Structure 1
Amino acid sequence: MSVKIELIAAPGCGKCVAAQEQLRAIATAVLGDNEVVWREVNVLKEFDYAVSLGVLSMPAIAVNGELKFSSLPTPEQFRAMLTTLESF
């Protein structure tokens, strides 16, 4: 089962860029490289989509079309959330 992970961010967001590689590496380590579909969502281009998810601040993270973090999670929080996905 592949997992779609979306990082919702604005262009020029320094903390978004800094966190992206770390979160991507965690997702790959927990779920496996072939199981992760990573998508970067530019909030300026996909504003309606971000609003439909309930995004109020950035960066935000959605998993399989559902908002999981409305702000940047710690690596531990992100890993714990992904681990719960494995059990389904």
Structure 2
Amino acid sequence: MKIELFSTPGCSRCAQASTGLKVVLAAFGEGRVIWRDVNLLDEIDYAVKLGLISPSAIAIDGELVFPSLPDAAALRAEIVKRLR
């Protein structure tokens, strides 16, 4: 599974999201979930293709699942559902 966090430079909420995402993903063990931080400004075409309208959004396996930052429980539940 590949999770992408869309952020912009200087976005404090994005930095908090990145930290929170790392904590949630650590519970699933290394290798089960791959994640990358996507700079929205560098990959604007990809973000538009997904339908992204603001930073701190999360895509899973190339699908925009959370258009805004979810809480940890919602993210964890979505990952568990998709790992089954």
**Coarse TM-score class (shorter-chain normalised):** over 0.9
Listed as ranges, the matches of 1:1-88 within 5 Å are 3-29=1-27, 31-87=28-84
Moved more, 45-54 or 34-43: 34-43
The 4+ residue runs of structure 1 with deviation greater than 3 A are none
Structure 2 residues not aligned, in runs of 5+: none
Higher helix proportion (structure 1 or 2): 1
Look up the equivalent residue of 1:81 and give its one-letter code: E
- Pairwise CA RMSD: 1.0
Paired residues, number? 84
Matched-pair identity in %: 45
Distance 1:43 1:86 in 2: 26
